[in-house]
Chain A
Amino acid sequence: MEKTLRKYFPLFALPALICFALSFLIPMVWGFILSFCEFTTITDATFVGFKNYVRAFTVDNYFTGAFWFTLGFTIVTVISINILAFTIAMILTKNVPGTNAFRTIFFMPNLIGGIVLGWIWQVVLNGVLAGFEQTLLSNAKYGFWGLVILMNWQNVGYMMVIYIAAIQNISSDMLEAASIDGADGKTTLFKIIIPSVMPSITICLFLTLTNGFKLYDQNLALTNGAPNHQTEMLALNIFNTFYSRTGFEGVGQAKAVMFTIIVAAIALIQLIATRSREVEN
């Protein structure tokens, strides 16, 4: 059996490998090469060295602006989503009546696509702001907090499900032992529950962090970067660079490469940091 498996392994893995190479590896390598080229279609690229990387910063300062905006947004949403999701998970694992209904309701926003969510919240927030004769585009602050609210609404339910699963997995022996030892609610939370769900925290932090950095659809639908590029996030800036000027496809590509490196680096640092705090059950 083992031998047959080994013999046929390449054959069975082949379709998946072909798909992976076609849709991921080749575009990624090709994209990296293109970031050093000037091109309009990918077939007529000419090598220009680091020119695109220089132009990403020298032509206008939207890219750095977008970076700081994205960073601020990600910090706020990572904290707010995880605290909210964990709190709701704690409440919904305490035998509250109607727990399942609540879990479903909180999870549901996650099933709606980003563009649709963006439109929904644009209508809602503009409706609220209309009372003050303002719109989302009147002030960059509205756009920022609008995006934060939207992101929380969409992601809290998903992270909550992960936390619920982890909390339910904590063995009741430990909790019982803690209460016999006289631990109060706060001690139990910080000494037993949080250390036990650390693997889930790692996952949730990773997901919210990368989601925050990669956000595009919601940004596009809610404000499209207005006013004056002040709510433009990295992904949207890359897209706009690629399409708004003739000859800037390479610059957009260079920005995309830098973006990939930044996101990968931050996510790796976070993974290493939280992994080291996980405990063996």
Chain B
Amino acid sequence: MKKALSIMLIALIALSSVFANGASESSGKTEVYFLNFKPEIADVYTNVVEPAFEAAYPQYDLKVVTAASNQYQTTLRSELEKAAPPVIFQVNGPVGVQENVNTVAPLQDTDYYSLLADKSMALTLEGNVVGVPYAVEGYGIIYNDAIMRKYFALPDKAVSISSAEEITNFETLKAVVEDMSKHLDELGIQGVFASTSFMPGSEWRWTTHLVNPALWAEFGDLATAQAAKEFQFTASENFKNIFDLYLNNSITAKGMVGARADADSMAEFALGQVAMVQNGNWAAAQILGTAGNTVADEDIKFLPLYMGLDGEENYGICVGTENYLAFNKNASPEALEGADVFLTWLFSSDEGKAIVTNDLMFITPFSSFSADEVPDDPLARQVNIWMNKDGITSVPWVFNGIPSEQWKADFAQAMLEYINGNYTWDQVTKVAQDAWAREAELAGR
């Protein structure tokens, strides 16, 4: 009896370990595991993309998992160590490729890569194409044209121009903003700019996006920035120009910025409490989704980030991408083929393209999309308008060449110390230079 009992116990333990491995491989389908970077469209993947793809290609089982906001790298690292790792994952530019050198697969023979219109946009590693962009984004200063029109109609305005579209340099922007600050009550707003958010995790609008024109002015292009051992921050004064303008004409007092998140800034804009906020077209959903949103679609427009750089009259908004998809070379050949089938279906079949344009709302860099197949949200339309303006050059995303996350963190903290009055601007500049030199060396440049 006892013997029987112990045999049963052992059998139970053995069985449970078998079940712990999971009983998932029973269907005979090939699993295509995609680790999604964008939490704002997680539902679209599960509710629309998955059923549609599996209906079109029943031999595949598409699995989309979304990492929590700001947790992508952490999630990716732990997922890659699992027995069934992601087949498709995102890398955020060349630094992202460096972080995943041992994982990224060559993509030059895939159908997905052949869809890319401008092949120079892809990321390469040792002669292989390893990352293909899937969405182009643009950012600048988003303004509420209704408030701007109200300002330009004021009888005692201090500027001679009569519409926001005539603002083409920092001088004009500064004159307009500072004069608007004197007329807050008449305009019905509480500040010209939304909060300069510095709550932990909300500094990215300054450490990457705002510094981008300064990086561009110094390095000229992404490849140079990526290889740069040193960053002189030659446009430091220009950066300070616009940063001070944000801070001094804001809805939020300087001392309070540490308690504001970027979502707060977007809500302030959506509620019509401010006229301007720096952000990109991905924020459209945030503006339109705010309860009590008072901004009309046609009034949401972009201004470039003017900061007093030479020739900035001809600069547009910052257009580029940090959204590249890479394949995991350690996945099975069937799964890799499935990944290619899936992405090609998504970005070139009529059904897939409709989902991309209407539900995922990407502006894509693929030749399979025609010019009128762009998402129908106001900021995406604005990005398109700015990209195609005559005589205007879009500012590329040079910030992908920032050597590490630590540089961003140190720079953010230095800016916060400047806001709190503990650092002079020279100290902030020094931190940016020193941290760059240190991080570039650590990154092996």
Partner-B contacts on A (CB < 8 A):
8, 11, 14-15, 40-44, 59-60, 122, 126, 130, 132-139, 223-229, 240, 243-248
A228-B416, A246-B404 known; A59-B200 Cβ under 8 A: no
A243 engages B405 (CB within 8 Å) = yes
Majority SS at the chain A contact face: loop
Q: With the chains together, A105 CA to B98 CA distance in Å?
A: 52
Closest to A12 in B: B9
A245 engages B420 (CB within 8 Å) = no
B68 to chain A, nearest CB (A): 13
**Chain A positions within 8 Å of B9 at CB level:** 11
A46 to chain B, nearest CB (A): 11
- Interface status of B442 (Cβ within 8 A of chain A): yes
A245 engages B442 (CB within 8 Å) = yes
A130 engages B417 (CB within 8 Å) = no
Q: Contact check: which of A14, A126, A240 meets B259 at CB < 8 Å?
A: A126
A11-B6, A43-B81 known; A137-B405 Cβ under 8 A: no
A40 engages B102 (CB within 8 Å) = yes
| Across the A-B interface, the 4 shortest Cβ-Cβ residue pairs | A137-B258, A224-B200, A135-B258, A133-B255
A245 to chain B, nearest CB (A): 5
- Interface status of B188 (Cβ within 8 A of chain A): no
Q: With the chains together, A78 CA to B96 CA distance in Å?
A: 43
A137-B416, A227-B416, A243-B405 known; A42-B81 Cβ under 8 A: yes
**Chain B positions within 8 Å of A135 at CB level:** 255-259
- Interface status of B24 (Cβ within 8 A of chain A): no
Binding stretch for chain A, among B72-80, B106-114, B229-237, B340-348: B72-80
- Interface status of B322 (Cβ within 8 A of chain A): no
Q: With the chains together, A246 CA to B257 CA distance in Å?
A: 30
B319 to chain A, nearest CB (A): 27
A223 engages B200 (CB within 8 Å) = yes
Q: With the chains together, A43 CA to B198 CA distance in Å?
A: 37
Q: Contact check: which of B13, B199, B255, B405 meets A15 at CB < 8 Å?
A: B13
B102 engages A246 (CB within 8 Å) = no
A245 engages B405 (CB within 8 Å) = yes
- Interface status of B201 (Cβ within 8 A of chain A): yes
B416 engages A246 (CB within 8 Å) = no
- Interface status of B171 (Cβ within 8 A of chain A): no
A246 engages B443 (CB within 8 Å) = yes
- Interface status of B95 (Cβ within 8 A of chain A): yes
- Interface status of B296 (Cβ within 8 A of chain A): no
**Chain A positions within 8 Å of B102 at CB level:** 40-41, 44
Partner-A contacts on B (CB < 8 A):
6, 9-10, 13, 73-74, 77, 80-81, 95, 98-100, 102, 198-201, 253-259, 404-406, 409, 413-414, 416-417, 420, 422, 438-439, 442-443
Q: Contact check: which of B13, B73, B201, B258 meets A138 at CB < 8 Å?
A: B258
Q: With the chains together, A246 CA to B100 CA distance in Å?
A: 9
A30 to chain B, nearest CB (A): 12
Closest to B80 in A: A41
Closest to A247 in B: B442
A219 to chain B, nearest CB (A): 11
B259 engages A226 (CB within 8 Å) = no
Closest to B101 in A: A40
A228 engages B417 (CB within 8 Å) = yes
Q: With the chains together, A14 CA to B102 CA distance in Å?
A: 38
Closest to B78 in A: A41
Q: With the chains together, A40 CA to B330 CA distance in Å?
A: 15
B248 to chain A, nearest CB (A): 14
Q: Contact check: which of B95, B99, B254, B414 meets A228 at CB < 8 Å?
A: B414
Closest to B201 in A: A224
**Chain A positions within 8 Å of B99 at CB level:** 40, 246
Q: Which of B73, B100, B199, B200 has the most CB of A within 10 A?
A: B200
B416 engages A226 (CB within 8 Å) = yes
Q: Contact check: which of B200, B256, B405 meets A226 at CB < 8 Å?
A: B200
Closest to B100 in A: A40
Q: With the chains together, A219 CA to B443 CA distance in Å?
A: 28
Closest to B419 in A: A138
B81 engages A244 (CB within 8 Å) = no
A243 engages B420 (CB within 8 Å) = no
A255 to chain B, nearest CB (A): 14
A136 engages B95 (CB within 8 Å) = no
Q: With the chains together, A225 CA to B410 CA distance in Å?
A: 11
**Chain A positions within 8 Å of B10 at CB level:** 11
B28 to chain A, nearest CB (A): 29
Sample of 18 further A-B pairs with CB below 8 A, known A138-B255, A245-B442, A245-B443 = A8-B6, A15-B13, A40-B102, A44-B102, A122-B259, A132-B255, A135-B257, A135-B259, A137-B259, A223-B200, A225-B200, A226-B198, A227-B417, A228-B413, A228-B414, A243-B73, A245-B404, A247-B442
